């Protein structure tokens, strides 16, 4: 989280070539809608509410780290739209503060504070990509009945929350981005992570990697020895 992340929209372009993009990413952080053509599972795309890593030719959205990765391997077939952002180091003080606090808590055996500081570090990224929403009234209950439950609509598969509070039954309805969100920040952080994992996978050898999680690889001994 100590890299450069976008903080303000600077320019917006459509239908540019790779040489122009190469110049832009030297100065700005970039989010782009692109068409890629790849024989390896390098890039994510959202399909039917799931993230998959296909091969072949497809449209997806990539941020600066993955755009550099694609440019270096000549995998960009078309650049449809891009947004350029000014960038700065914005998390150093935050990370240093809570990381040092966590170390202090660990040294004195304060597991409660240590867990709190860990959550403050781990959840910062998600706050910038958080979805918005509101509670709408769907019924009534006795005032003393209080609960929050997770529901799944058996017909549509929709997941939602219900709560009973002050005599009201309310449903949580999602509505786009949260007020203080800024998705390019979260998108760049996760993009940096994916590229780092890709580099490790290639170092271990694709044939030696059994499973990939957010920040870990499961490999055979041959892959482990290469890392």
Q: Rg (Cα) of the chain, in Å, rounded?
A: 22
Return the pLDDT at 213: 84
Cβ neighbours of residue 104 closer than 8 Å, sequence gap 6 or more: none
Mean pLDDT, rounded, of the chain: 90
pLDDT at 43 exceeding the cut of 90:
yes
Q: Do the Cβ atoms of 169 and 153 come closer than 8 Å?
A: no
Is the pLDDT at 7 greater than 80, yes or no?
A: no
pLDDT for residue 1: 41
Is residue 180 very low, low, confident or very high in pLDDT (cuts 50, 70, 90)?
Answer: confident
DSSP state of 42: -
Q: What is the value of pTM for the model shown? A: 0.80
Kindly report, residue by residue over 113-153, the tens digit of the pLDDT: 999 999 999 988 888 888 888 899 999 999 999 999 999 98
């Amino acid at each position: 989280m100590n890299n450069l992340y976008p903080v303000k929209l600077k320019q917006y372009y459509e239908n540019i070539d790779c040489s122009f993009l190469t110049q832009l990413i030297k100065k700005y952080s970039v989010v782009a809608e692109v068409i890629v053509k790849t024989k390896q599972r390098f890039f994510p795309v959202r399909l039917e509410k799931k993230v998959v890593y296909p091969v072949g030719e497809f449209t997806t959205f990539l941020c600066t780290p993955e755009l550099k990765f694609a440019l270096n391997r000549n995998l960009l077939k078309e650049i449809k739209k891009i947004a350029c952002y000014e960038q700065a180091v914005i998390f150093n003080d935050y990370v240093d503060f809570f990381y040092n606090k966590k170390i202090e808590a660990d040294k004195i055996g304060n597991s409660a504070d240590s867990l709190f500081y860990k959550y403050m570090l781990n959840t910062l990224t998600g706050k910038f990509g958080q979805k918005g929403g509101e509670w709408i009234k769907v019924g009534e209950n006795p005032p003393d009945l209080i609960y929050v439950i997770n529901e799944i609509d058996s017909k549509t598969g929709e997941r939602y929350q219900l709560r009973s509070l002050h005599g009201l039954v309310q449903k949580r309805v999602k509505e786009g981005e949260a007020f203080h969100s800024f998705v390019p920040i979260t998108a760049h952080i996760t993009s940096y992570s994916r590229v780092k994992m890709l580099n490790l996978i290639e170092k271990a050898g694709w044939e030696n990697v059994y499973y990939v999680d957010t920040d870990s690889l499961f490999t055979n001994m041959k892959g482990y020895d290469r890392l």
